[in-house]
Amino acid sequence: MIRIMPPHPETWLRVTEAGLYCEPGGFFVDPTRPVDRAIITHGHSDHARPGHAHVLATPETLAIMRERMGEDRAGTTQQALGYGEALTVNGVRVWLRPAGHVLGSAQVCLEWQGSRAVVSGDYKRRHDPTCPPFEPERCDVFVTEATFALPVFRHPPAAQEIGRLLASLALFPERTHVIGCYALGKAQRLIALLRQAGWDRPIPIHGALQRLCTLYETLGVKLGPLVPATVAAKDKLAGTIVLAPPSAIADRWARRLNEPVPCLASGWMRVRQRAKQGGVELPMVISDHADWPELLATCAEVEASEVWITHGREEALIHALGQQGIRGRALHLVGRGEEDAE
């Protein structure tokens, strides 16, 4: 019996101008320009782009894409694939595993001729009440992000950061605490974390967050009472926690609130000089990306002999992986880290 060595993933999974391309399967993962066949890891705009002919993703990601881009731009045909379901595309087996990043986020697992690659998209390992947790999948090549790939990035427990927010509100009970957060994922996670901390009052949200919060509710994520944050009724907002997009917390919209305390929830808030930019008064280190220990632990856990890095700070990660005997390779994918770089 002849034993055939499985092909190295770099022979069938390549970086092209449009992004990562699976040659035998004839499809791209998170392509940056319109293509014929795309598999999308999650709904953030640096991964899910409009105009593909055929789109495969989790039902939640497809719903998010339709909500954000409109039915007609979210793929001419959409094909849903649930977590753990598998299908075969031109001989390439394809299945999805939760990435724990935002609702619907998935790692794309690919296997061809006994050789397996996992494209993780963006991911985190912390508990998130709004989406299922990351599931490691053993593979030969693990394709990872590296947004927070420096050892200085270790996210504290999210509950602790929520505690700091509530303590600030107790100290400044008349001031409106406005938290800057991204519309997809971060906003809903913050709301869920506030609910877990016992904050059951209606939460005013900026208009830009409304549609995705409604969609999350439709998809079964309970967020509790939300109300529009209309600046016209600013007295009603005194002493409340308001959620808004990051761009809104320092602009005229927020200044019309009652002595606002601008807060920003992001992994970047770990470093002071980053936090000092943009007039943030209460930096909150809450991230939907893996921190440094989680990146290293995940790479070890999937037992991959090679780790490919899509975007972020790859130098430090390649160095640290090398010390664990894992070969790291920077893919330098362009156009990543735009929306959810936080």
Give me the residues that bind Zn ion (CB under 5 A), please: 44, 46, 122, 340
Three-state DSSP class for 116? Answer: strand
The residue (of 93 and 274) whose beta carbon lies closer to Zn ion is: 274
CA dist 66 and 106 (Å) reads 17
The residue (of 43 and 328) whose beta carbon lies closer to another protein is: 328
What totals of helices (H) and strands (E) does the chain contain, helices first? 10, 19
- Closest CA relative to residue 194, chosen from 306, 286, 305, 281: 286
Position among 276, 303, 334, 338 found at the interface with another protein (CB under 8 A): 276
Count interface residues toward another protein (CB under 8 A).
28
DSSP string, 99-115: -SSSTT-EEEEEEETTE
Position among 91, 156, 202, 228 found at the interface with another protein (CB under 8 A): 156
Using rule CB under 8 A, residue 272 touches another protein: yes
The residue (of 246 and 283) whose beta carbon lies closer to another protein is: 283
Among 96-104, 223-231, 241-249, 269-277, which window interacts with another protein (CB under 8 A)?
269-277
Among 23-31, 48-56, 60-68, 270-278, which window interacts with another protein (CB under 8 A)?
270-278
> For the CA atoms of the chain, what is the radius of gyration?
21
Position among 70, 151, 207, 228 found at the interface with another protein (CB under 8 A): 151
The residue (of 44 and 270) whose beta carbon lies closer to another protein is: 270
Three-state DSSP class for 315? Answer: helix
The residue (of 55 and 316) whose beta carbon lies closer to another protein is: 316
Lateral strand order in the sheet of 226-228? 226-228, 203-205, 241-244, 177-180, 261-265, 282-284
Residue 261 Cβ, how far from Zn ion at the closest point, in Å? 27
DSSP string, 4-63: PPPPPGGGTEEEETTEEEETTTTEEES-SS--SEEE-S-SSTTT--S--SEEEE-HHHHH
The residue (of 91 and 157) whose beta carbon lies closer to another protein is: 157
Using rule CB under 8 A, residue 315 touches another protein: yes
User: Which of Zn ion, another protein, none has residue 277 at its interface (CB below 5 to 8 Å by kind)?
Assistant: another protein
Residue 292 Cβ, how far from another protein at the closest point, in Å? 9
Using rule CB under 8 A, residue 301 touches another protein: no
The residue (of 116 and 311) whose beta carbon lies closer to Zn ion is: 311
Position among 81, 215, 249, 316 found at the interface with another protein (CB under 8 A): 316
Alpha-carbon separation of residue 132 from 41, 102, 295 (angstroms): 14, 9, 18
CA dist 46 and 259 (Å) reads 34
- Closest CA relative to residue 340, chosen from 129, 27, 48: 48
End-to-end CA distance of the chain: 53
Chain residues in the site for another protein (CB under 8 A): 150-154, 156, 164, 168, 171-172, 270-273, 275-277, 279-283, 313, 315-316, 319-320, 323
